[in-house]
Amino acid sequence: MFIRLDIVVRTRFENCMETRRVVTGPWQAGEVNRIDYVPSLLVGFDTETTGLDTKNDEAISYGFSVYRNGVNVETSQFFAVPSRPMSPGAQRVHGVSLDQLKRMRLNGEALSAPKAAVAAATRLGDFASEGATFVGSNPLYDFTMLEFTLRRHGYDGLEAFGASPSLITLVDVVLHDLAIEPRGPRRPYRGLAQLCANYGVTPGGHDAAEDARAAVEVLLAQIAVNANTRLTAVDPGVGVIEADQTEVRDISSPTGHPI
C-alpha cells in the first residue's frame, strides 16, 4: 500500500556538518516539511559505535525497527567486532567493551566488521526496494559511518546496495521536530532522549535496536500532531489527537489512505 508523504528530508551528495554528531561525508540534509501521513513501511535505523568520527570509527551494533502500516513487526540488532579501537567515551555511553564483542564473536553472537557492514547495507537495500521510509535521530551520521566502513574494507558504498541517502526517503526526527516547533527557550534541546520525553515515548537508552524503535515512535507521535493540526484547520470541531495515540493511522486522509 502506498501512502503519500508530503515533502520529507531530501538529501544530496555533498559534504555536511550535523549539529549533534559531526558528519564528515558525502550527504547533506535538505528541506524538511511537516509530515502528516504514516508511510506504509517505516524502518528505524540506528548504530552504536566506537566513537564519533564517521570516517574512522565503526559501528559495534546495527539496530532495525520495522513498522508496517503503523504497527511494529520487528525490532532487532546484530553486533560487530570493530577493526578500530573503542573510545572510552563511547564505551561509557553504550556499555559494551571490545573484549565483550570479541567473546561474543567466539560464541557466534557477533560478526566481523566487514560482514556486519555488508549485512546492514543489504538489509537497508532490501527495505529500500520495498519503498521504505527510513527514520532516525541524526541518521546521516549512521549512514555515513556505514559508507566509510564499507569502503575501508574493500566494498562498494551504499549506492551499490540501493541504500544511499541520495536515493532513499530518510526522515531525521530532530529536523522534523524543528519544522513542527522551531528552537526556543521552552525546548532548547532536541536529542532523541528529549524528543522521547516530550512525546511520551519510552527511550532507547543507547541500545541500537531500541533507539531505532524510539525514533519511529517519535515520528508517529509527530505525525499525530501534524495530522491534528491539518484536521483542525479544516474543521475546528475535530477533537485533539494526543501525541501518543498512534491510532491516528485509522483516520482517513483526503486521498483515502489512512493517516
Q: What SS3 string covers the chain?
A: CCCCCCCCCCEEECCCCCCCCCCCCCEEECCCCCCCCCCCEEEEEEEEECCCCCCCCCEEEEEEEEEECCEEEEEEEEEEECCCCCCHHHHHHHCCCHHHHHHHHHCCCEEEHHHHHHHHHHHHHHHHHCCCEEEECCHHHHHHHHHHHHHHCCCCCHHHHCCCCCCCEEEEHHHHHHHHCCCECCECCCCHHHHHHHHCCCCCCCCHHHHHHHHHHHHHHHHHHHHHHHHHHHCCCCCCCCCCCHHHHHCECCCCCEC
Lowest-pLDDT range, 18-27, 178-187, 229-238?
A: 18-27
Predicted pLDDT at 186: 84
- Which residue did the predictor score with more confidence, 134 or 29? 134
Residue of 249 and 87 predicted with greater confidence: 87
Angstrom distance (rounded) from CA 160 to CA 217: 30
Ramachandran angles phi, psi of 169, nearest 5°: -90, 120
- The per-residue pLDDT of the chain, averaged, comes to 82
**pLDDT beyond 90 at 81:** yes
Residue 254's pLDDT is 30
Average pLDDT over residues 86-92: 97
11-250 adopts what CATH topology?
A: Nucleotidyltransferase; domain 5 (3.30.420)
Q: Where are the domains of the chain?
A: 11-250
Predicted confidence band of residue 229 (pLDDT cuts 50, 70, 90): confident
Question: Between these two residues, 159 and 17, which has the higher pLDDT value?
Answer: 159
* C-beta of residue 227 within 8 angstroms of C-beta of residue 251: yes
Query: Among candidates 4, 25, 7, which has minimal Cα distance to 139?
Result: 25
pLDDT at 29 (0 to 100): 63
CA-closest candidate to residue 243, choices 196, 203, 209 = 196
